[in-house]
A = this chain, B = another copy of it.
Amino acid sequence: MTPQAPTPAYRRLSVEERRSQLIDAALSLFAHRRPEDVSLDDVAEVAGVSRPLVYRYFPGGKQQLYEAAVRSAADELEQCFDEPRQGPRLLRLTRALDRYLTFVDGHDTGFSALLQGGSVVETRRTSAIVDGVRRAAAVHIYNHLDITEPGPRMRMTVRMWITAVEAASLIWLDEDKQPPLDELRDWLVEQFVALLTVTAGRDPQTAALIAALAEDG
């Protein structure tokens, strides 16, 4: 057999490719270390480039790179919540929650540092990104549940559950990821149904949803 033309070992990356490469390198470091324990030298080393090149792309230094990494992680996280609108609704929610918890598992230290706050690189911008993820999560949940116009009581219930899931994620990381991911996931889905059931006693829209979920089987 004639050997195929070899892929060139080195080639010039486009500006966008290089930027992505640096963000990926940063994210891999920020995922498992606290922001204060990551240096630009570390990022350059993981990306296999020089420190000045990192600065050329991120003149704002670590702060700017951190924000870009958080933005990139937020995009990835929002994709976790996406789910085809087919099959039983609680199963859709369970699958989305499974991907969310897998994300938390894979970004443990960075997730805690970002959400617990008080970090040197935390800014209004990173806080706004986190809030955006929370809002996106709520929208995806309404989609999973086939709710087009959630009323105030349902909205409050969903937002309370999202906050509670976030708190549970932080506690879970703090307690050496116990209970196991699938148990935590099912427990959280059960809690969601329990909260909705309580709200159903005060809100016809939520009562109709609970009835529909029961029919899903």
Contacts and interface: CB of A to CB of B under 8 A. Distances in A.
Interface residues of A, number: 32
Given A118-B127, A198-B190, A160 B152 contact: no
A35 to B, nearest CB: 15
A151 to B, nearest CB: 11
Contacts of A159: 167, 171
A153 B179 CA distance: 9
B191 A160 contact: yes
Contacts of A179: 153
Contacts of A127: 117-118
B156 A160 contact: no
A197 B152 CA distance: 25
A149 interface: no
Interface string A172-208: 1001001100010001001100110111011000000
A187 B178 contact: no
A201 B153 CA distance: 27
A175 B190 CA distance: 27
Contacts of A198: 187, 190-191, 194
A11 interface: no
Contacts of A161: 164
A107 to B, nearest CB: 20
A213 interface: no
Interface string A140-163: 000000000000110110011101
